[in-house]
Amino acid sequence: MQTSGARYILQGRLSAAGTLSSLVPGVELVAEPVTRHSAVYLDTFDWRLYEEDREIAVDVGRQPTNISLRERGRRRELLSASGKRQPRFASDLPKGRLRDALTSIAGVRALLPIVRISYSERLLKALNADRKTVTRLRVLFQSRAFRQEGDRRTALPDLVEVIPVLGYERETHLLCSALEDAGLRKVDEDLLYLALAAVGREPLDYSSRPSIILDRGMTMDEALRTVLINLARAMRANEPGMMADVDIEFLHDYRVANRRTRSVISQFKKGISATVLRSFRPGFKWLGKVTGPTRDADVYLENVDGYRADLPEEVGEQLVPLREFLRRKREREFKLMLRSLKTKRYQQLLAHWESMLLGTGSNGPVHLHKPVPVLPVVSARIWKVYAGIVKQGRAITPGTPATALHNLRLVCKNLRYLLEIFRSLYPADAIALLISELKTLQNNLGDIQDLEVQRLALEGFAQEMLEEGPVASGTVMAMGRLAASLEERQYAARGDFARILRRFAREKNRRICRELFKDQR
């Protein structure tokens, strides 16, 4: 079995694969015939495959199409499948291990073409005196990268990859030394990386997790500007995919960036200029409102399959009309959302926001926040929100109405945004610990509220479906059973709340928060 090996750039007189043989005296190199490949490489918008060190290539010009999942830059297929066409989602693949593996990496995200590469490949085996293969070489040459058919193709350097054979590491080492002595330059980049660079793409240039780097020496104005520019960029990055409905995560990430923007503005509203508050707050609120129903429909559609798992198979089948109903509803909501996003109001909102943040507007640079240092203001805010959660949470008893839990959930969300956005101001491990503790509490509160919202929505959907036309009694009954099971789960989640809150509010976390935030005020 092969392990990862070194990679070199073949240059000048060594560029032809055949000349390698003369490089290493005493080792016989046996070459296999050259094969030519042409493939489209796919990844999600947020580079989920690249991040996992995987690549997915779809052969071009062959029928059926071979789709293979490989360790990035390696030849060996980890899994493969054949299909009639290039898959748009992992779920488009035929049932099997490749589909399962891709689903676990890409989830609901679309698999988008990132680059096309055509290349020639020659494999060589280095044999010892027993004619046993002790090392393999893979030469990639005549490689070209391009974005799409018809584009200009950029030539990539020829590469040779040394693939060790288990138990023959000494021989591999000798071969590598010989290549280096011959002047070959060792490189870390694999063919995919080089191809992406050639077409002007940078791997990992988008992530749904904000990585905002702030400095403790910044003023509040500088820090907020950095944060909000970053969030505005995230909205812009997701805009085309959301409007073209490429996959549901574009809208989700867009809405998260909008919510984070609103949360930051509202958390620091006391110091933010009144003009800014007046000009933009209502706009962002409106944006949340017009994008909400489509996202809700997406969530319900995703949940239907989960719902099915909650019910016996034959009852679950009865939910197909519900799925269809939700799909139609989503289509309608999406059209309405698109209409709002094409208005002048929307376009001006974002354009003015960006020019205000960047200081490129007609009024020149605008003061966003009072000129105070960032650390005390942010720390005081986080401490206040944290202490508020503990106080509010402790006041909740089994008899408290659900609205109190709902309010608590909103405050938790604000704390989460604050911790995530301003994490670079504090020690990384302490923030990571707090976020993980907070997540547990948020999940519990989410269950309590979402299960109730879902139950109420189900009742609403049943009503709407009946208004649209006749619905099979089995479907109505299945939805009824589902509502009952959601209520049961909600009840169980509510039962867990006190224990989970106690854990969140325990002394250890309180001490960390005190040191990080209270003492920095």
Partner 1 sequence: MKIFSIYHLKGGVGKTTVAVNLAYLSALEGYRTVVWDLDPQGSASFYFRVKPKVKGGGTRLLVGKKSALKSRRGTDFELLDLIPADFSYRKLDRILSKLKKSDKRIAKQLKPLEGHYDHLFVDCPPSFTNVTEGILGVSDVVLIPSIPTTLSIETLERIRKHLDANLKKGALVAPFFSMVDRRKRMHRDIVDSVDSHYDFLKTTVPYASVIEQMGIERAPVAVFQPNGPATDAFRALWTEITHRAGIGHPTG
The H or E element containing residue 9 is strand 7-10
In this chain, which of 71, 77, 245, 310 binds partner 1, going by CB under 8 A?
A: 77
Comparing CB distances to partner 1, the nearer of 101 and 482 is 101
* Cα gap 215→69, rounded to integer Å: 41
Q: What is the DSSP string of 130-165?
A: T--EEEEEEEEEEEEEESSTTSPPEE--EEEEEEEB
* Cα gap 303→125, rounded to integer Å: 52
Q: Which stretch binds partner 1 (CB under 8 A): 4-12, 123-131, 313-321, 477-485?
A: 123-131
* Cα gap 436→434, rounded to integer Å: 5
**Beta carbons of 208 and 249 less than 8 angstroms apart:** yes
In this chain, which of 167, 398, 469, 470 binds partner 1, going by CB under 8 A?
A: 167
**Least distance in angstroms from the C-beta of 80 to partner 1:** 5
**Least distance in angstroms from the C-beta of 386 to partner 1:** 42
The answer to whether residue 64 forms part of the interface with partner 1 (CB under 8 A) is no
In this chain, which of 2, 120, 424, 440 binds partner 1, going by CB under 8 A?
A: 2
Comparing CB distances to partner 1, the nearer of 70 and 255 is 70
Comparing CB distances to partner 1, the nearer of 171 and 253 is 171
Give alpha helix (H) positions in 85-140.
97-106
**Least distance in angstroms from the C-beta of 168 to partner 1:** 7
Phi-psi region of 233 (alpha: psi -120 to 50; beta: other; left: phi over 0): alpha
Beta bridge partners of residue 144, listed in sequence order? 118, 155
Comparing CB distances to partner 1, the nearer of 131 and 270 is 131
Q: Which stretch binds partner 1 (CB under 8 A): 161-169, 364-372, 409-417, 494-502?
A: 161-169
Q: Per this entry, what is the length of the chain?
A: 521
Residues 467-506 that bind partner 1 (CB under 8 A): none
**Least distance in angstroms from the C-beta of 85 to partner 1:** 18
Comparing CB distances to partner 1, the nearer of 79 and 458 is 79
**Least distance in angstroms from the C-beta of 100 to partner 1:** 8
- Those residues whose C-beta lies under 8 Å from the C-beta of residue 493, and which sit 6 or more positions away, are 444, 447, 448, 451
400 DSSP 8-state letter: S
In this chain, which of 84, 132, 170, 285 binds partner 1, going by CB under 8 A?
A: 132
**Least distance in angstroms from the C-beta of 29 to partner 1:** 14
Q: Which two tokens stand for residue 94?
A: 């035929």
**Least distance in angstroms from the C-beta of 104 to partner 1:** 14
Give the binding-site size for partner 1 (rule: CB under 8 A): 24
Residues 20-59 as x/- pattern, contact with partner 1 by CB under 8 A = ----------------------------------------
Q: What is the DSSP string of 340-376?
A: HHTSHHHHHHHHHHHHHHHT-STT-----B-S-BHHH
SS3 content of the chain, % helix, strand, coil (to 5): 60, 15, 25
The H or E element containing residue 459 is helix 428-468
Q: Which stretch binds partner 1 (CB under 8 A): 129-137, 141-149, 294-302, 359-367?
A: 129-137
Q: Which stretch binds partner 1 (CB under 8 A): 102-110, 124-132, 367-375, 465-473?
A: 124-132
Q: Which stretch binds partner 1 (CB under 8 A): 57-65, 75-83, 390-398, 505-513?
A: 75-83
The H or E element containing residue 75 is none
Cis? peptide before 365, omega within 30° of 0: no
Comparing CB distances to partner 1, the nearer of 96 and 282 is 96
> How far is residue 491 from each of residues 207, 485, 496, measured CA to CA in Å?
36, 10, 9
In this chain, which of 25, 61, 130, 362 binds partner 1, going by CB under 8 A?
A: 130
Residues 87-106 that bind partner 1 (CB under 8 A): 94-100
Q: Hunting for tokens 């920095």 — which residue is that?
A: 520
**Least distance in angstroms from the C-beta of 189 to partner 1:** 24
- Those residues whose C-beta lies under 8 Å from the C-beta of residue 233, and which sit 6 or more positions away, are none
In this chain, which of 133, 154, 219, 340 binds partner 1, going by CB under 8 A?
A: 133
Comparing CB distances to partner 1, the nearer of 30 and 410 is 30
213 DSSP 8-state letter: -
Q: Which two tokens stand for residue 20?
A: 């390698």
**Least distance in angstroms from the C-beta of 263 to partner 1:** 43
Cα 358 to the center of its chain, rounded Å: 27
The residues of the shown chain that bind partner 1, judged by CB under 8 A, are 1-2, 76-77, 79-81, 94-100, 125, 130-133, 164-168
